[in-house]
Amino acid sequence: MPEDKPEKGVDSRTLLKRLRDILAEQGEGQERLDKITYIIACSMDADVCSIYLRRDEKTLELCATEGLNPESVHQTRLRVGQGLVGRIAEQARPVQAMDAPAAKGFRYMPETGEEVFSSFLGVPIQRLGEVLGVLVVQSKDPRQFTEDEIYGLEVVAMVIAEMAELGAFTAENQQAMSMPHQRPFFAKGLVGQEGVAVGHVVLHEPNIVISNPVADDPEVEKRRLSQAFQTLQTEIDRMLKADRIAVKGEHREVLEAYRMFAHDKGWRQRMEVSIDRGLAAEVAVEKEQSNTRTRMERVTDPYLRERLHDLDDLSNRLLRILTGRDGNGADLPEDAILVARNIGPAELLDYGRKLKGVVLEEGSVGSHAAIVARALAIPLVIQAARITREALNGDEILVDGDAGLAHLRPDETVKSAFMEKVAMREEAQEEYAALRDLPAISTDGQRIRLEMNAGLMADLPSLHSSGAEGVGLYRTELQFLLRSSVPRRREQSDLYARVLDAAGDKPVTFRTLDIGSDKVLPYMKRQDEPNPALGWRAIRLGLDRPGLMRMQFQTLIRASKGRPLRIMFPMVAQFDEFRDARQMLLDELAAERQKRHAVPRDVKIGAMLETPSLAFAPDQFFEMADFISIGGNDLKQFFFAADRENERVRRRYDTLNVSYLNFIEQIAQKCDQIGTPVSFCGEDAGRSVDALAFAAMGLRTLSMRPASIGPIKRLIRYVDLGKTKAVIDAARASGDQSVRPALEAWLTSIGAPYF
């Protein structure tokens, strides 16, 4: 131990400066930890000071102590949640006791000799809500630690956390003292978009490593903080004033919350108190951010969680201002894999095809970011718990979008198994590429048209690379959803024209705006509806507010520049709705003609069949419609009365359930009888066995995500559709609930490539 014994009861600033000196000195990790426990014990006038660090996810290890039996260092281990120390790590909150051995949950560890110490105070060593260890002081005399002392120890723990992050405590063969974020980490999330990727982490929010966690001059640090707050407030006010978002809506709500926090005196004062205690401004912000994140883990109310997320975002902004760093790394590595808590669609589009993969801590299958990832054909894993806390910029990461998994800092075994998977996939891709220009014809000569779904310019390169024969569903609302204001007439028609240009002579079916339900435009007043999926949406909204729909007709007609045009209406539930919308379109065509604008040389007007009622519409509807497209996502939700966004009920009903399949067959027969072309464009058309069953039921056109075209074409070319139908019929006759088991068993028996 050092010769010059530090004085007792020093203020935390002096203590922090001593810690900083230790960080600056040459030395082994163990030596540093020993010195730290020694000076903390002295300056807090305590008999014991100990540091426990995380050995792994579940275990803490005593790594240094002043006052307990030195033999127990690296021997004493306890589980997170066990004893007072384990409880601190689990709850990320300080614990104090005047008579520790009598305290609830106390666990006696005889090898440490701690039974003689009655008073106990422990605080988490945490960084950004992640507990790296526990710092404890103990004394023989019963002693009540003051609020001030607790706060002081928390501040000290913050600096120890920053030191750990900088790798100040590493030592050979000491797992608990290895630098955090060096071990392999595995996240099991959900599939957002299929595909695999190998690359390096790029954090959407910067992970800032602070090299000097201790303030030299608190006044200077407070001034820096104050300036950062001012910049932050100006930024937010500017965003609020920008007229493009000066409408009521979700964005504004978030910005208002930002503004409230940015002006919140309590929040800022707490940071100033930490600075007075000796922390640098950045670490003071991080200390508050840690508290926010700890609270976030506990809060279940979705509204409060959102607000805590806002506060977390705001802390990130403050940190960026303080460190003068911009969020999105301008120079991304070649193999960038974006890791984020969540990301907006526009931000994801900004990164664009430069990304090899995306891993999100939150996100949902139907989210707009997922739609963009799909359009860009980037593998996406969502709901990957803790990934933003574990990942550091530049870490190696493997993304398995097929299984919804992410391996961070993988070890060699995991990596080699993964690389095998990548190689197999590449082989399959080569096979699909070889089929690209061949038709999908079954061995008994039935021809199926395979088209793709799209909605963004980013989708269109896939039209050629996938071999799609057209765009069976162009979701026009995506352009509206990604924006903070209604796209101008000109922008709309430019986009549609570019889509038609890119498609060349392949047909594109534009669907008019399908908004409402889960597709809420940020700049439109949100309707308070008890059941939005059954509410005022799509064609209902279009007919009641014809201005927007008319504008869309006009922009589509103008974009066609005389080329043929295919337009369909979403969510038609009865004949009249189709007839009225169609008439509006015909009127608009007439008006354009009168203005002597070029009009399409051929217009086909169709309807999506997404409600069971439309399948039973009068024959006149089927005669009037130029084509029908089955929107299976909605149709299935209404057929089974099971919310498509609710994972719990969604998976309960199989698409190949006999009732549903019979229904699809009936629609195909009806259309065939009247001569109305019919296709299927829901997500299920992109699943190979489902697509095969639809084809066997008589559907001749399927529209799907581009990545599915290759595998589905390969399957169709492998099978006899007549025999497929016979297998389905036998399963139906035998009373099976779903034809899937029988169909899959048969496909396996003939060695068919299905997924």
Per CB under 5 A, residues contacting Mg ion are 610, 631, 634
Stretch that binds ligand PEP, among 4-12, 394-402, 421-429, 632-640 (CB under 6 A): 632-640
Shortest reach from residue 484's CB to ligand PEP, in Å: 21
Q: Does 690 bind ligand PEP (CB under 6 A)?
A: no
Q: Does 390 bind ligand PEP (CB under 6 A)?
A: no
Stretch that binds ligand PEP, among 251-259, 435-443, 458-466, 628-636 (CB under 6 A): 628-636
Quick one: which of 631, 686, 706, 710 contacts ligand PEP (CB under 6 A)? 631
- Nearest CB to ligand PEP, comparing residues 465 and 633: 633
Shortest reach from residue 251's CB to Mg ion, in Å: 25
- Nearest CB to ligand PEP, comparing residues 338 and 609: 609
- Nearest CB to Mg ion, comparing residues 388 and 453: 453
Shortest reach from residue 330's CB to ligand PEP, in Å: 35
The entry of Mg ion, ligand PEP, none near residue 681 (CB within 5 to 8 angstroms by kind) is ligand PEP
Quick one: which of 189, 682, 710, 711 contacts ligand PEP (CB under 6 A)? 682
Element of type H or E holding 23: helix 12-24
Print the binding letters for residues 517-546 with ligand PEP: x by CB under 6 A, - otherwise: ------------------------------
- Nearest CB to Mg ion, comparing residues 34 and 610: 610
Q: Which residues between 705 and 744 bind ligand PEP (CB under 6 A)?
A: none
Tell me the C-alpha to C-alpha distance, in Å, between residue 408 and each of 186, 207, 378, 393: 6, 16, 18, 11
- How many helices and strands, by DSSP H and E, does the chain display? 28, 23
Shortest reach from residue 324's CB to Mg ion, in Å: 46
In whole angstroms, give the CA distance from residue 614 to residue 663. Answer: 12
In whole angstroms, give the CA distance from residue 546 to residue 554. Answer: 12
The entry of Mg ion, ligand PEP, none near residue 66 (CB within 5 to 8 angstroms by kind) is none
The entry of ligand PEP, Mg ion, none near residue 469 (CB within 5 to 8 angstroms by kind) is none
**Number of C-alpha atoms within 13 angstroms, CB side, residue 6?**
24
The entry of Mg ion, ligand PEP, none near residue 588 (CB within 5 to 8 angstroms by kind) is none
Q: Does 685 bind ligand PEP (CB under 6 A)?
A: no
**75 in Cβ contact with 113 (< 8 Å):** no
> Which residues are bridge partners to 405 per DSSP?
188, 400
Q: Does 475 bind ligand PEP (CB under 6 A)?
A: yes
Mapping DSSP onto H, E and C, the string for 39-71 reads HHHHHCCCCEEEEEEECCCCEEEEEEEECCCHH
**708 in Cβ contact with 684 (< 8 Å):** no
Shortest reach from residue 538's CB to ligand PEP, in Å: 8
> Which residues are bridge partners to 603 per DSSP?
565
In whole angstroms, give the CA distance from residue 395 to residue 399. Answer: 13
**514 in Cβ contact with 570 (< 8 Å):** yes
In whole angstroms, give the CA distance from residue 553 to residue 540. Answer: 16
- Nearest CB to Mg ion, comparing residues 276 and 634: 634
Shortest reach from residue 534's CB to ligand PEP, in Å: 13
Element of type H or E holding 187: strand 185-188
**480 in Cβ contact with 486 (< 8 Å):** yes
- Nearest CB to ligand PEP, comparing residues 120 and 680: 680
| Position closest to Mg ion via CB | 634
The entry of Mg ion, ligand PEP, none near residue 475 (CB within 5 to 8 angstroms by kind) is ligand PEP
The entry of Mg ion, ligand PEP, none near residue 710 (CB within 5 to 8 angstroms by kind) is none
Task: State the pairing for strand pair 447-454/471-475.
Answer: parallel
As to burial, measured by CB atoms within 10 angstroms (0-12 exposed, 13-18 middle, 19+ buried), residue 47 is middle
Q: Does 34 bind ligand PEP (CB under 6 A)?
A: no
Stretch that binds ligand PEP, among 38-46, 237-245, 554-562, 625-633 (CB under 6 A): 625-633
Shortest reach from residue 685's CB to Mg ion, in Å: 13
Q: In sequence order, which residues have a C-beta less than 8 Å from that of residue 680 and are 6 or more positions away?
A: 629, 630, 632, 664, 694, 699, 701, 702, 703
Measured N-to-C along each axis, helices 265-276 and 218-241 cross at an angle, to the nearest 10 degrees, of 160
- Nearest CB to ligand PEP, comparing residues 274 and 655: 655
Shortest reach from residue 584's CB to ligand PEP, in Å: 21
| Separation of CA 441 from chain center | 38
Q: Does 514 bind ligand PEP (CB under 6 A)?
A: yes
Q: Does 633 bind ligand PEP (CB under 6 A)?
A: yes
- Nearest CB to ligand PEP, comparing residues 53 and 691: 691
Q: How many residues does the chain have?
A: 755
Stretch that binds ligand PEP, among 262-270, 594-602, 611-619, 631-639 (CB under 6 A): 631-639
Q: Does 406 bind ligand PEP (CB under 6 A)?
A: no
**264 in Cβ contact with 298 (< 8 Å):** no
Shortest reach from residue 636's CB to ligand PEP, in Å: 8
Quick one: which of 610, 615, 668, 699 contacts ligand PEP (CB under 6 A)? 610
Q: Does 312 bind ligand PEP (CB under 6 A)?
A: no
CA-wise closest residue to 117 among 20, 201, 50? 50
Tell me the C-alpha to C-alpha distance, in Å, between residue 597 and each of 372, 548, 555, 561, 753: 34, 20, 12, 9, 51
Q: Does 278 bind ligand PEP (CB under 6 A)?
A: no
Shortest reach from residue 338's CB to Mg ion, in Å: 29
The entry of ligand PEP, Mg ion, none near residue 114 (CB within 5 to 8 angstroms by kind) is none
Q: Does 607 bind ligand PEP (CB under 6 A)?
A: no
Stretch that binds ligand PEP, among 44-52, 281-289, 557-565, 630-638 (CB under 6 A): 630-638
Element of type H or E holding 157: helix 147-165
Q: Does 681 bind ligand PEP (CB under 6 A)?
A: yes
Tell me the C-alpha to C-alpha distance, in Å, between residue 238 and each of 228, 234, 256, 416, 521: 15, 6, 12, 50, 22
Q: Tokens 């106390």 appear where?
A: 106
Cα angle 223-224-229, degrees, rounded to a multiple of 5: 95
CA-wise closest residue to 153 among 110, 199, 121, 106? 121
- Nearest CB to Mg ion, comparing residues 309 and 644: 644
Shortest reach from residue 488's CB to ligand PEP, in Å: 24
In whole angstroms, give the CA distance from residue 155 to residue 16. Answer: 9
**Number of C-alpha atoms within 13 angstroms, CB side, residue 709?**
32
| Binding-site ranges for ligand PEP (CB under 6 A) | 473, 475, 514, 610, 631-634, 681-682
